[in-house]
Each structure stands twice: as C-alpha cells, then as structure tokens.
C-alpha cells in the first residue's frame, strides 16, 4: 500500500513527464520551497518558471524507483531531453494536504549538462570539459 505523499509524488512526476505542467502544478503548494541545483526556488510562480521549460523539453522519462509514506517520498528517475541525454535525478518531497510543500532535487547529467533554473538564476554548465556559470535570461 502506498502512502499519500508517495502517490502525490508519483502523480506529480507522471504529469510533468507527459508535459502537463498545469496538472503538475496543481499538486504543488502555493508557498512551495524547492532546493534546486541552481539554488532555492520559492513560491508556485517561481517553481513553474523553473520546472516548466524542463518538463516541456523532456523526450523520455523512466521511474527507476520510488518509496514513501503519508508525509514524505522520494522518486528516482532517468530522463532524456532536447538538451541532455540520460540525466538521472531524484526528488525528495514533503506533502501536506495533498500538495507538495517542499522539494529537494538532485540531478546527475554527465558530460553535457544543463540544469533548469528559474529565470535570472545561475546554472552550472559542463560542456566538452569546460566549466562555467551561466545566467538564464
């Protein structure tokens, strides 16, 4: 039997992986706090700006594992996108009232990397051995 947080986390993942950003955001609290690779993202509007471009750029997603209970859950997945092939990631979430209130993300993107971040935030890029910080428009 799955807990409520695990079900919410899986529903959220399935929504964004089918490019349904509206359905995914319906599972996120207005005051969400996300510990993202590029820095903290706070509030539903910033979170949508952060996740929307990534979600719509995915070309394949695969859930590798998931576990949780009524309050917290972890989903481990692999994705391909128009920017990166084979980018495994994990999301730990806290859920209250059926909505994600806190998320911590971890991603591993290999040789060519791009990590989605909110507009104006810095992101890490490692391309063909070079390392540099870049800023999203």
Tokens of 50: 């952060």
The model's pLDDT over 24-78, given as tens digits with 9 standing for 90+, comes to: 999 999 999 999 888 899 999 999 999 988 888 889 999 999 999 999 999 999 9
Alpha-carbon distance values, 94 to 11, 24, 48 (Å): 14, 15, 18
Residue 119, judged by CB atoms within 10 A of its CB (0-12, 13-18, 19+), counts as exposed
Q: What pLDDT is recorded for position 122?
A: 43
Query: What's the pLDDT at 85?
Result: 80
Q: How far apart are the first and last CA of the chain?
A: 44
What is the distance between the alpha carbons of residues 136 and 125, in angstroms, rounded to a whole number? 11
Do 88 and 64 touch, CB atoms closer than 8 A? yes
Q: pTM to 2 decimals?
A: 0.77
The pLDDT tens digits of the residues spanning 79-131 come to 888 877 888 889 999 999 999 999 999 887 654 444 444 444 444 444 434 44
Q: What is the pLDDT of residues 112-125, one digit of tens each?
A: 444 444 444 444 44
46: which 2 tokens? 């910033």
Helix (H) or strand (E) holding 51: helix 44-57
């Amino acid at each position: 039997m799955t807990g409520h947080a695990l079900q919410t986390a899986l529903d959220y993942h399935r929504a964004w992986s089918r490019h349904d950003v509206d359905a995914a955001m319906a599972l996120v609290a207005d005051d969400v706090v996300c510990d993202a690779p590029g820095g903290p993202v706070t509030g539903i509007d910033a979170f949508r700006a952060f996740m929307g471009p990534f979600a719509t750029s995915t070309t394949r997603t695969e859930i590798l594992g998931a576990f949780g209970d009524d309050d917290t859950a972890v989903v481990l997945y692999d994705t391909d996108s128009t920017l990166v092939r084979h980018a495994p990631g994990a999301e730990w979430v806290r859920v209250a009232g059926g909505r994600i209130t806190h998320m911590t993300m971890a991603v591993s993107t290999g040789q060519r990397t791009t990590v989605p971040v909110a507009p104006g935030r810095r992101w890490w890029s490692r391309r063909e051995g070079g390392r540099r910080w870049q800023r999203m428009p």
